[in-house]
């Protein structure tokens, strides 16, 4: 037996990768990185084909090694053993996994063009006021804004340099680090809710047709991957547009509040007023499109004057 059978000199590494290789279970475990116990568990769950029986020993082949590596790859991609079994059964039935794995790669790949960076502890301290705040660094690591580099205590990976720059600008503007961390935690929860709702929405109306059966066909999975590429930027574009609208609305509201009523009353500049479409059409039919603005202004002034007269009349004591 090659790869570790009786008298099979050279050990498993000499035969590993050969299509005709044969393994004892211990050699298969060594070649695959799985434990003997794991291999037996996979057999019991139907994830591995039954090995050939020779006397008192089980004989495994290269197909078993390839299957173990395939399972390990799918586990790293986030699949459960139950879903892996379904995929492998589809594979064994002649349905390809190329589309499915392409879909997984598309979903699990980067959702932004931003590239991660690195920063030293000295650079980090400089950007945040030259103060060595270990608590703040630990909080940043917990939030994922920074990631520690194994073996390098004074160096960090920065998944999103843009996010770190925002924090630095806020700190420079006077916002405490604790407030920045708290705001990020709150914001992250709200954004994750938005992402969840967007996925529910697109799954219901778009992806259900491709993922209605499990596992999806190779063609359906490939089409779904294409749709992911098309729809991926839409979520961010929608959030950007709505955030801009909301920021303008609330910033204006806050500014008006802090300026006070006197400053607002002194503002004589015209302001847009939204009117119902039906009202606009009625006025156009009455006076023509070019006179809508003048008519609305005159009607408003007349209404204000009429109400003023009513108030004055109501406040005058009647004679006995």
32 has pLDDT over 70: yes
What b/e sequence results for 82-118 when a residue is b if at least 16 CB atoms lie within 10 Å of its CB, and e otherwise? eebbebbebbeeebebebbbbbbebeeeeeeeeeeee
Q: What is the pLDDT of residues 187-231, one digit of tens each?
A: 999 999 998 998 888 888 888 887 766 667 777 878 888 888 888
What pLDDT is recorded for position 35? 93
Rounded CA gap, 54 and 61, in Å? 13
Could you count the other beta carbons within 10 Å of the beta carbon of residue 32? 22
Quick one: average pLDDT of 131-136?
A: 85
- State the DSSP H helix or E strand holding residue 47, giving kind and residue range, or none if neither: none
- State yes or no: pLDDT of 95 exceeds 90: no
pLDDT in tens, 147-161: 999 888 899 999 999
pLDDT for residue 61 is more than 50: yes
Write the pLDDT tens digit of every residue in 263-278.
545 555 566 777 787 7
């Amino acid at each position: 037996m090659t790869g570790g059978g009786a008298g099979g000199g050279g050990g498993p590494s000499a035969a590993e990768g050969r299509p005709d290789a044969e393994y004892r279970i211990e050699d298969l475990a060594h070649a695959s990185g799985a434990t003997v116990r794991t291999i037996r568990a996979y057999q019991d769950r139907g994830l591995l084909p039954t090995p050939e029986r020779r006397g008192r020993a089980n004989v495994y082949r290269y197909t078993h090694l390839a299957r173990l590596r395939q399972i390990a790859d799918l586990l790293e991609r986030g699949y459960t053993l139950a879903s892996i079994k379904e995929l492998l059964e589809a594979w064994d039935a002649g349905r390809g996994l190329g589309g499915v794995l392409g879909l997984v790669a598309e979903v699990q790949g980067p959702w932004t063009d931003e590239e991660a960076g690195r920063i030293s502890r000295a650079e980090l301290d400089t950007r945040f006021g030259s103060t060595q705040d270990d608590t703040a660094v630990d909080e940043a690591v917990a939030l994922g804004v920074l990631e520690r580099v194994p073996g390098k205590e004074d160096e960090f990976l920065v998944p999103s340099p843009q996010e770190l720059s925002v924090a630095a600008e806020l700190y420079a503007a006077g916002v405490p680090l604790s407030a920045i961390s708290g705001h990020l935690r709150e914001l992250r929860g709200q954004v994750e809710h938005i992402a969840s709702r967007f996925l529910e929405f697109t799954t219901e109306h778009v992806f259900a047709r491709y993922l209605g059966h499990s596992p999806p066909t190779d063609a359906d999975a490939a089409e779904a991957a294409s749709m992911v590429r098309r729809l991926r930027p839409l979520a961010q574009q929608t959030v950007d547009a709505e955030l801009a609208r909301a920021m303008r609305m609330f910033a204006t509201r806050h500014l008006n509040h802090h300026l006070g009523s006197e400053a607002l009353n002194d503002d004589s500049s015209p302001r847009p007023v939204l009117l119902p479409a039906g009202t606009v059409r009625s006025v156009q039919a009455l006076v023509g499109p070019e006179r809508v603005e003048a008519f609305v202004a005159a009607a408003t002034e007349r209404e204000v004057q009429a109400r003023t007269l009513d108030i004055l009349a109501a406040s005058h004591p009647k004679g006995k």
